[in-house]
Chain A
Amino acid sequence: MKTTKKLFAVTAVIMMVIAIIAADHIDAPAVQGGTSDITDFYAFQGEDSNNIAFVANLQGLLSPGATAAATFDENVLIEFNIDTDGDAVEDLVIQAVARDGKMYVFGPDVPNGTGLNSTILSNSLNQLSVDMTPYGQPAIVESANGMMAFAGPRDDPFFMDFAQYGEIIAGNATSFNNPGSDTFAGTNVLSVVVEVPKTMIGGTGTINTWVETKRKQ
Chain B
Amino acid sequence: MNSNIFKSLIAMAVIAVAFTSCSDDDDVMDQMSGPDFSGTFVQQDQMGRPAVNTVFVSGGSKDSFNVTIPSQQDAAFQSMFQTNLEALSPAFANPGDANALGQDAATFTGLLATDVLNVSLDGTTTFFDGTNVLTGRNLADDVITVELLLIFGGEDFSENPGLSNDNVDANDKAFETSFPYLASPW
Contact = CB atoms under 8 A, between A and B. Distances in A.
Interface of A: 5-6, 8-9, 12-13, 15-24, 27-31, 36-38, 40-47, 52-53, 55, 62, 64, 67, 76-77, 79, 81, 83, 87-89, 97, 99-100, 104, 114-120, 122-123, 127-129, 135-136, 139, 141, 148, 150, 153-155, 157-161, 164-165, 168, 174-182, 184-188, 191, 193, 195, 198, 201-217
Interface in B76-130: 84, 87-90, 93, 114-126
Contacts of B185: 62, 64, 67, 135-136, 153-155, 188
Contacts of B37: 97, 99, 104, 120, 122
B47 A9 contact: no
A81 B160 CA distance: 36
Given A16-B87, A141-B180, A214-B42, A27 B121 contact: no
Contact of B27 (A36, A37, A129, A164): A129
Contact of B71 (A67, A77, A89, A154): A89
B184 interface: yes
B156 interface: no
A116 B118 contact: no
B144 A6 contact: no
Contacts of B143: 23
Contacts of A186: 172, 186
Chain B contact residues: helix, strand, loop or mixed? loop
Tell me which of A8, A15, A45, A76 has the highest count of chain B C-beta atoms within 10 A of its own C-beta: A45
B85 to A, nearest CB: 10
B43 to A, nearest CB: 4
A62 to B, nearest CB: 8
